[in-house]
Each structure stands twice: as C-alpha cells, then as structure tokens.
Homo-oligomer: A and B are copies of this chain.
Amino acid sequence: MSLRQEIIIVSKELLLKGGFAQLSMRKIAKKAGVTATSIYLYFKNKDELLLALVEESIEKLTAVLKDALDPSAGPVEQLEKLAAAYVQYALDNPQEYEIIYMVRPEEMPKYPREKFQHVREIYELIASIIQSGNEQHVLDVDDPMISAYTIWAQLHGVVSVVLSRRLDTRIPKQPFLKHAIDQIIHGFIIQRTPA
C-alpha cells in the first residue's frame, strides 16, 4: 500500500480515537512508522491532509445515501429514506461526519470547489427527487435546488445538535431525531401544497 494511503488511514484512526484536537503531524507519522516530514511529500500541509479526509468522508456519505435510494418508492418516501440514512450515517460515524463540516471551503486554497463536487451530487439527487415529486403532483415546489439545500441544512442542524451533546439530557435522542426528520420532510411537503 502506498504511504499516502497509509497516512490517510492512520489519520482517520487517530481522529476516531482521540478526536480532532489530538491529531498532529508527528503522531500520524509515528503511527505510520515514518517521520513527520514525510507527510509533506504527499500533502502540501496539514490542511490538505484534512481535505483528503473530508473528501473520503464525503464520498462515503454519498455512497451511503445512494445506497439508501429506492427508485421504486415515491418521492416523499425517498426523501424520508434519504434523511434517515443521512442521520444514521452521522450517528454511526460521528467524527467522520464532523470533519466534513470542520474544514471550511473558503479556507481551502485553490481546489476547493472541485473537491466538494460530490456534495453537489447529493444536492442534485435531492433536487431531482423533488422535481419528480413536482411532476407527479405530489409536491409543488418553486425551486427544487433551494429546497434541497434547505432540507440538507436542517438535517445538518439537527444532527449537529445531537452530536455536539447540546440536546437537553432529559430529551432522548431517538425520539428527537424521529420527530425532527418528520418535521423537516412533512413540513416541507405541506408548506407548498396548500390543503
């Protein structure tokens, strides 16, 4: 296996184990059986290494969502399944999920947009489902892309509150998430389809 790949794997392990604060170039290098400076042979700097991790996490999330896709289901059901899969991924891989939102595009030099291409794929996926909902007259949405981003943002908010332990201890996670997903999807539907 290439050292580059080894570095990425080791970084992920350290990230999952000790959290973000514990992730240093020297520790990564040591665990990979190599010197810190060697990392710079494969990554311009720490940010670019993190970006590679982000990239992988995004790809994995994308894969999970695509897997959750069920073309035979109706648009609403598909949105529900996507949302559930999204939340599940986040809960199963908290650190991996977090790094997606940790590094921000604006701080990335040069190639931010291209690398975040996979995210756009997801948006377009959601938008296309909404669009087909429009066509089947199950939904009536002005701008599917805006709605896709809105759903996504809301989901992220809900997940983020849970992951960062900001939920009141008296409120159990699962019911909260179920309630939230319900609200996001159905609120979204009914709003634009006046009863």
Binding site for B on A (CB under 8 A): 101, 104-106, 119-120, 123, 143, 145-147, 149-150, 152-158, 160-162, 164-168, 170-171, 175-176, 179-180, 182-184, 186-188, 190-191, 195
Which residues in B have their C-beta under 8 angstroms from that of A155? 157
Report copies per complex.
2
A186 to chain B, nearest CB (A): 5
Which residues in B have their C-beta under 8 angstroms from that of A175? 146
Pick from B123, B153, B195: contact of A195, CB below 8 A: B195
Bound together, the chains give a CA A161 to CA B123 distance in angstroms of 13
Bound together, the chains give a CA A150 to CA B181 distance in angstroms of 9
Q: Tell me which of A153, A155, A161, A167 has the highest count of chain B C-beta atoms within 10 A of its own C-beta.
A: A153
Task: Assess whether B154 is in contact with A158, with CB atoms less than 8 Å apart.
Answer: yes
A69 to chain B, nearest CB (A): 21
Bound together, the chains give a CA A187 to CA B31 distance in angstroms of 49
Pick from B120, B146, B176: contact of A149, CB below 8 A: B176
Which residues in B have their C-beta under 8 angstroms from that of A171? 145-146, 149
Pick from B101, B150, B165, B176: contact of A105, CB below 8 A: B165
**A–B complex contacts, Cβ < 8 Å, 24 sampled:** A104-B165, A104-B166, A106-B164, A106-B165, A123-B168, A146-B171, A147-B179, A147-B183, A149-B168, A149-B171, A149-B176, A150-B179, A153-B157, A153-B162, A154-B154, A154-B158, A154-B183, A155-B157, A157-B157, A183-B187, A186-B191, A187-B187, A190-B191, A195-B195
Task: Assess whether B146 is in contact with A179, with CB atoms less than 8 Å apart.
Answer: yes
